[in-house]
Amino acid sequence: MPTESRLALVRRARRMNRILAETYPDAHCELDFKSPLELLVATILSAQCTDKRVNMVTPTLFAKYPAVGDYAGADRLEMEEIIRSTGFFRAKTTSIIGMARAVCDRYGGEVPGKLKDLVTLPGVGRKTANVVLGNAFDVPGLTVDTHFQRLVHRFGWTDETDPVKIEHVVAELLPRREWTIFSHRVIWHGRRICHARKPACGVCPLAALCPSYGTGPTDEKSALKLVRSGPFS
C-alpha cells in the first residue's frame, strides 16, 4: 500500500476536521467555569476523573474559595473533603494549594496567560495549560488527553506516543486558529462515537477517511447501540 504523502495527509486531516465541525457544531469545554482560576482548578481536578463529576464538586469548592488567596490559605482537610469524590484528592489538594501560592507569590494573584508561566505552577502540565489558555484566554492550544491520543492514532496522523510530540505533529496539520476547537471536537467524538474498546464505526462520519474503519462494528444497527451522549459519568 503506498505511503500517504505529506500533502495528502494535510488535506485529509483538514477534511476530517471540517466533518467534525459539522458533526459537533456545539463542541466546547465541558468543565464549568467563570474565570481562568476556576478553569485551572477544575482542570487539575479532572485528572483521572470525569468532567461530570468535577462539575458536581466545583460549585461548593468555588463558593468556599472565591479568590486565589483563599486557595493559598486553605485548610487541607477541608479541601480534601470537598474534592474527595474526584479521586487522588490528597495529591490534587497539594497541587491546588501549591498552584495558588505560586500564583500569589510570582504573578501578583493573577493566573498567567502564557504557556511558559503556567507550566511552572504545581500540578500544571502542558495539557492543563493548553486547556486554560484556549478556553479562558483565547490563546490557541491543543489538549492532548487520552481521547485525543487515541483518535489521532486511529486517524493515522501520527505514530508518536509522547503527548508533546503528538501536539507538535497535529499543530503542523491544522491552522493555529483551529487548535482549541479541534481539541474539543476530537474529545467529543472520542466520548460519543470513537470509544476505546469498541468504536461505533458503522455510524462514524469519518468512516471514509479513517484507516481504522472496522475496528468496531460496521453495521449501522450494532454501531448505533454504542453511540453515547453527554453528560458523561
Task: Measure the CA–CA gap between 76 and 41, rounded to whole angstroms.
Answer: 15
Structure confidence at residue 31 (pLDDT): 97
Catalytic annotation, pick one of 145, 165, 198, 219: 145
Domain residue ranges of the chain, discontinuous segments joined by +: 6-27+143-224, 36-136
**Average of pLDDT values for 23-47?**
97
The answer to whether 6-27+143-224 and 36-136 have equal CATH topology is no
Domain 36-136, CATH class in plain words: mainly alpha
Structure confidence at residue 3 (pLDDT): 83
Catalytic annotation, pick one of 127, 138, 198, 221: 127
pLDDT at residue 231 is higher than 90: no
* 127 is annotated as an active-site residue: yes
Model pTM?
0.91
Question: pLDDT by residue (tens digit) across 43-77?
Answer: 999 999 999 999 999 999 999 999 999 999 999 99
pLDDT at residue 233 is higher than 50: no
CATH architecture of 6-27+143-224: Orthogonal Bundle (1.10)
Residue 1's pLDDT band, with cuts at 50, 70 and 90, is very low
Is the previous residue joined to 231 through a cis bond, with omega within 30 degrees of 0?
Answer: yes
Q: Percent of the chain scored above 90 by pLDDT? A: 96
Question: pLDDT by residue (tens digit) across 157-192?
Answer: 999 999 999 999 999 999 999 999 999 999 999 999
Cell numbers 460549585 correspond to 59
